[in-house]
Structure 1
Amino acid sequence: MRTRTIITLSVTGLCVATATAGFLIPYRVEQRATATASREQAWEVITDLPGHVDWNPHTVELSGTPAVGETLLNRTQSSGTEFTFRPVVLVAKSGQELRWRGTTLMRGIADGEHYFRIDPGPRPGTVTIVQGEEFRGAAVMLLRPSFNLEEEFATSTEALAAAITDHAHR
């Protein structure tokens, strides 16, 4: 009986430690790409939410109003699996940053804060597009081995920069 209690307490402690680590040690992914455009032109492409399906190979649908407090509909696909989120816009600074937070099942399980930032580019007439996400929550440490988002973010960030450059030269 004593062995069973020790095992139960050990497993419980491991679960609590794993869940706590998911909040304290987030999983982050961030990519950058340069676009030949102004901040305003980049902002137009980023905030054209339905237009994301035209350049982002992982977006199935994105709709809503990119304004603080608004709820969006975001359907994405990753590794052949489709996910639907209803993130809330946290930041919408024209020409600078769009940021939203989505949750899985319920808040605190696996939350993701996605952002697009428009930074000055390396040369005049360019901008650096920064796209990233930070995942936190009880399940993040358990799911982390299945996350392989660096390549997906690199692909979509390069595609975004190309779409912005194309938009700027129309």
Structure 2
Amino acid sequence: MSRLALVATHVPTYEDCVSESESTLTRQVVETLYADALMLSDEARAIFDLRRRDARPGEYADAELLALSVEGLRTTTRIMHVLAWLLNRRAWFSGELTQAQLDKVGKLEQDRPSDPVNLAQLDPATRALIAESERLHARVARLDTAGPARREMPVQAMHSRIVRAFDGD
């Protein structure tokens, strides 16, 4: 069977275009973190939705509501920055962003830590959610600092494989 017939019968997948360990691990990490961030954003929406609070007038002090609002905004912003970073990585993996585009728009925004005075006024479940969002941001920040491995885009890698396959003729 000729090389042309082999190339024509085998449609390369993304994983064929890059090394097995590099694509599987990195892509899997991004997908796992993305799922975690989505679940965390849903939990944050439920906890910080002030309209859903069944509070009687005067049940919460103004300082408590202010602390809840401020930390809710910080937490949801933190999670949205993580989601944006992960969506950019997913787009890069699928070939929708070039490395140059990723370098331009793909940096993770710096985290704004929670205020200990505000945290002291919140219930344990809310503090736990905030801490989890900070841990998630820190994990993604470590990945962002490490930077993506420089490699060809999937389409370019596939083109290179085809050129190498026919280079020997």
| TM-score, with length taken from structure 2 | 0.29
Q: Which has the larger radius of gyration?
A: 2
Q: Which has the higher strand share?
A: 1
